[in-house]
Amino acid sequence: MAELVFHTGPMDCGKSTLALQLDYIQTTHGRIGRVFTSQDRAGNGVITSRLGLTAAALEVAADFDFWRYVIGELTTGKRVDYIVCDEAQFYQAEQVDQLARIVDELQLDVYAFGILADFRTRLFAGSQRLVELADRVETLPLGPLCWCGARGTHNARTVDGLMVTEGSQVVVGDTGSGREVRYEVLCRAHHRRRMTATRAKATLSPDPLPFDPENF
Ligand SMILES: Nc1ncnc2c1ncn2[C@@H]1O[C@H](COP(=O)(O)OP(=O)(O)O)[C@@H](O)[C@H]1O
Ligand SMILES: Cc1cn([C@H]2C[C@H](O)[C@@H](COP(=O)(O)O)O2)c(=O)[nH]c1=O
Domain membership flag for residue 210:
no
CB of 142 sitting under 6 A from ligand 1: yes
Q: Mean of the pLDDT values across residues 122-140?
A: 98
Query: To the nearest whole percent, how much of the chain has pLDDT over 90?
Result: 90
Q: Write the DSSP symbol of residue 190.
A: H
**CB of 96 within 8 A of CB of 130?**
yes
- How far is the centre of ligand 1, averaged over its atoms, from the C-alpha of 4 (Å)? 24
Domain membership flag for residue 7:
yes
CATH for 164 = 3.30.60
| Chosen domain end from 143, 165, 187 | 143
Which atom of ligand 1 approaches the CA of 86 most closely?
Answer: 21
**CB of 116 within 8 A of CB of 123?**
yes
| Residue pLDDT, tens place only, 17-48 | 999 999 999 999 999 999 999 999 999 999 99
Residues in the chain: 216
Average pLDDT, the chain: 95
Which of 172, 191, 196 has most ligand 2 atoms within 8 Å of CB, for mutation? 172
Rounded to two decimals, the pTM is 0.94
Domain limits at 73?
1-143
Burial of residue 134 (number of CB atoms within 10 Å: 0-12, 13-18, 19+): buried
Domain membership flag for residue 129:
yes
| Chosen domain end from 143, 159, 182 | 143
The answer on 127 and 38 residing in a single domain is yes
Q: Which of 3, 73, 87, 166 is catalytic?
A: 87
Structure confidence at residue 143 as a pLDDT band (50, 70, 90): very high
Strands 136-139 and 4-8: what pairing? parallel
The answer on 51 and 132 residing in a single domain is yes
* In the predicted structure, residue 92 carries a pLDDT above the cut 60: yes
CB of 49 sitting under 6 A from ligand 2: no
Which atom of ligand 2 approaches the CA of 86 most closely?
Answer: 13
Nearest listed ligand to the Cα of residue 139: 1
* In the predicted structure, residue 146 carries a pLDDT above the cut 90: yes
Nearest listed ligand to the Cα of residue 184: 2
Using CA atoms, how far apart are residues 123 and 155, in angstroms rounded to an integer? 11
Domain membership flag for residue 212:
no
ipTM: 0.98
CB of 190 sitting under 6 A from ligand 2: no
Residue 3 carries which side chain, given as an amino acid letter? Answer: E
Is 87 a known active-site residue? yes
The answer on 71 and 158 residing in a single domain is no
| Sign of the C-alpha dihedral computed for residues 183, 187, 192 and 197 taken in this order | negative
Q: Mean of the pLDDT values across residues 162-170?
A: 96
Domain membership flag for residue 8:
yes
Residue 123 carries which side chain, given as an amino acid letter? Answer: L
Domain membership flag for residue 213:
no
The answer on 187 and 121 residing in a single domain is no
- Could you tell me the end-to-end alpha-carbon distance of the chain, in angstroms, rounded to an integer? 75
The answer on 44 and 66 residing in a single domain is yes
Q: Write the DSSP symbol of residue 140.
A: -
**CB of 152 within 8 A of CB of 143?**
yes
Q: CA 137, 142, 147: angle at the middle one, nearest 5?
A: 120
The answer on 187 and 172 residing in a single domain is yes
| Residue pLDDT, tens place only, 52-79 | 999 999 999 999 999 999 999 999 999 9
